[in-house]
Amino acid sequence: MENEPALEVSSSQPPPPKPKVGVAVFLLKGNKVLLGRRLSSVGRNTFALPGGHLEFGESFEECAAREVKEETGLEIEKTEYLTVTNNVFSQEGKATHIVCVFMRAVPADLNQQPQNLEPEKCDGWDWYDWDDLPKPLFGPLEIMLQHGFSPFPTT
């Protein structure tokens, strides 16, 4: 058997950053959507959907259910894929690249109130009328809306 080429010993340079995969969930109740004001460094003080990063081996639906449960305590159902966006931005001098998968879902129990289970990341969750959304929205969300995106099913 031929010898494997010797592994190149890396120099002191850190490895280049890689894109991450985010999953964000339009949780819908009538004409309302669940939003919370972010306290995380990315998009601080802007209103965003519940969501987070895809874990190794997870489906988009599993990630959506896990993140919504971790952040709000709500169980979701009728989870469906909507769209994907490619977000490259610079935050506090740090380049960030996130491919974000947007899902929609409805709460399993319409009477269950969202809880703020990660208060270090979010100021609190509330339902907002689609026609009267709070400002400012998280950048990637704002751009989608400016392009006329709607998460509601067309029937």
Length in residues, the chain? 155
Binding residues for Mg ion, how many (CB under 5 A)?
Answer: 1
Which of ligand 8DG, Mg ion, none is residue 107 near (CB under 5 to 8 Å by kind)? none
Of 79, 85, 78, 77, the residue nearest 101 (C-alpha):
85
- Residue 36 binds Mg ion, judged by CB under 5 A: no
> Binding marks (x or -) toward ligand 8DG, 58..77, rule CB under 6 A?
--------------------
In our burial notation (b when 16+ CB lie closer than 10 A, e otherwise), range 73-94 reads ebebeebeebeebebeeeeeee
> Binding marks (x or -) toward ligand 8DG, 133..152, rule CB under 6 A?
-----x-xx-----------
Q: Determine which helix (DSSP H) or strand (DSSP E) holds 61, and give its type and residue range.
A: helix 60-72
Tokens representing 17? 């950053």
What minimum distance in Å lies between the beta carbon of 138 and ligand 8DG?
5
DSSP SS3 for 60: helix
Q: Which of 22, 36, 43, 52 binds Mg ion (CB under 5 A)?
A: 52
Question: What are the residues binding Mg ion (CB under 5 A)?
Answer: 52
